[in-house]
Chain A
Amino acid sequence: MQVPLSWYLVVAAALFCIGLYGVLSRRNAIGILMGVELMLNAVNVNLIAFWRYVEVVQASVAGQVFAIIVITVAAAEAAVGLALIIAIYRSRRTVDVTEADQLKL
Chain B
Amino acid sequence: MSVQHVVFIILSAIALIGALGVVLNRRLFRSALFLVVSFVGVAGFYILLEAELLAMIQLLVYVGAIAILIIFAIMLSRQAMAADDKVLNEQWVLGGLAAVVLCAFLIYILTRVNWPVVEAAVPANSIQRLGESLVNPNGFVLPFEVASVLLLVALVGAVIIAREK
Contact = CB atoms under 8 A, between A and B. Distances in A.
Contacts, number: 257
A86 B4 contact: no
Given A18-B22, A83-B157, 4 more contacts: A25-B92, A26-B89, A52-B49, A56-B120
Interface residues of B, number: 91
Contacts of B91: 24-25
A48 B44 CA distance: 12
A30 B74 contact: yes
A53 B118 contact: yes
Q: Classify chain A's interface size.
A: 35 or more
A34 B111 contact: no
B54 A2 contact: no
Contacts of B42: 15, 41, 44-45
B4 A34 contact: no
Contact of B16 (A7, A18, A49): A18
A49 B49 contact: yes
Contact of A25 (B74, B89, B110, B121): B89
Contacts of A11: 12, 15-16, 45
A105 interface: no
Contacts of B38: 15, 38, 41
A17 B49 contact: no
Contacts of B5: 1, 3
Contacts of B92: 24-25
Nearest to B43: A41
B126 to A, nearest CB: 6
Interface string B117-138: 1111111001001100110000
Given A26-B88, A80-B161, A21 B80 contact: no
